[in-house]
Amino acid sequence: MMEFKGTQYNCSMELTLDIIGGKWKPIIIWELGKKTMRFNELKRRLPNITQKMLTQQLRALEESKLINRVIYNQVPPKVEYSLTDYGLSLLPVLADLCEWAINYSNLITCKSEI
């Protein structure tokens, strides 16, 4: 049993999934691993996400210290998102998950063709 920010977790995997779990957080992290982006650029790369969901997920990732949000004092306002060092540390893990998915897909595809 562990506690983080007032929440009890039964194991570290539960905490991990609370921080980066869900459909969009890993994809957002993956995209920001390629380069620093503004909101609309990120939205274009994730065409199936709603603006509200992207905003919520970015705020959660910022609160978790996985992304930086930099606001430039100009008109119109300019906001850029990038990964923190902790966010960058997730990229090899996400790359491993991508490789696992490819291998799994190949395995399932091959078995269904038999």
pLDDT digits (tens, 9 = 90+) for 69-83: 999 999 888 999 999
Per-residue pLDDT reduced to its tens digit, 36-72: 999 999 999 999 999 999 999 999 999 999 999 999 9
For residue 23, the domain's CATH number is 1.10.10.10
The length of the chain is 114
Cα 1 to Cα 44: distance, rounded to the nearest angstrom: 40
**Element of type H or E holding 78:** strand 78-83
Query: What is the tally of structural domains in the chain?
Result: 1
Q: What residues contact residue 39 under an 8 Å CB cut-off, 6+ apart?
A: 54, 58, 79, 81
- Structural domain for 55, as ranges: 2-112
Q: What is this structure's pTM?
A: 0.88
